[in-house]
Structure formats: structure tokens, C-alpha cells
Amino acid sequence: MNGASHRTVLSKNDAGEWVVTCRDRDDIEEPVTERVYAVDPAAVEAFSEFVKEKNVLDLVNREEGHEFCEDYSEWGYSFRFDNTAIGGKNHVYFRFGEYRVYSAADRELLKELDARFEALRGELLSETIDEDC
């Protein structure tokens, strides 16, 4: 990757509070800016219900598009669940991304997923710049 990169993660911090962490870099030569936002636990619950109700994880099963990739900064979503509390595997991953065959309804669902995920960000808790990344 030679250009910009953006990664946004919803997770619990060391204190057990939900946060959204955004790591952004405008160019490979630029530093990484990390912003951490507070998240309302009720919003996380609503987001979780949306993912379940709309069966978002079923998008993982779409076929590969087999298109020539001109965009090397593809978008993608991944969900990681920690199942250790219920005796399962440590983590289960679900990943889906740009170069798959999606219907118009799938694309509308992805747009709604993106909007709901972006809406989770609350108050900015911290901002740091990492020159060494």
C-alpha cells in the first residue's frame, strides 16, 4: 500500500468501556493520527440488534467478483467475536469486502451499516499523532 489508509474499530478499552478508535494516514510518508471516541452502550446494543436483524453476516457468503482490481484501497468490514466466555474458540472472524458480487439490496444494506457504524462515534476522548508508524 502506498497511499492513504483508514481503519475504524469498535471495541472495549482496558476499562471495559465501548470506544471507537480511528487510525488515519493520508499518505505512506505521513504519520498516523489516532482518534478515540466515546460510545453509548445503548447505541452498541442497537447496532448489534441491527446486524442480527438484517443478517449482515450473510454478506460474507457472496461470491468473488473476479473483476480486475484497479482500486488498491478497497473497503471492507470484519467482525470479530470473542467466544471465550461461552467456551468457544478464542475468536471467530467474519470478513466481507468490495470485490464481491452484491445485489442492489446488499449495497443498500451496506450503506445503512456504514451510516449506523459512523453514528456510534460520540465525544472525542483523545487524539494522538504517531510519527513512527
Task: For residue 56, give the nearest of 11, 13, 128, 116 by alpha carbon.
Answer: 116
Q: Quick check: 108 pLDDT over 70?
A: yes
Euclidean distance between CA atoms 117 and 67, whole angstroms:
28
Q: What is the pLDDT of residue 82?
A: 61
Residue 110 CB neighbours (<10 A): 17
Q: What is the pLDDT of residue 1?
A: 45
Q: Name the residue ranges covered by the structural domains of the chain.
A: 5-130
CB 8, CB 117: distance < 8 Å: yes
Confidence of residue 131 (pLDDT cuts 50, 70, 90): confident
Average pLDDT rounded to a whole number, residues 123-133: 87
16-20, 53-57, 88-92, 105-109: the lowest-pLDDT one: 88-92
18 φ/ψ angles, rounded to the nearest 5 degrees = -70, 135
Q: Quick check: 91 pLDDT over 70?
A: no
Burial class (CB in 10 A: 0-12, 13-18, 19+), 35: middle
What does pTM read for this prediction? 0.75
Tens digit of each residue's pLDDT (9 = 90 or more) over 30-71: 888 999 999 999 999 999 899 889 988 888 777 776 665 555
Euclidean distance between CA atoms 24 and 113, whole angstroms:
20
Confidence of residue 27 (pLDDT cuts 50, 70, 90): confident
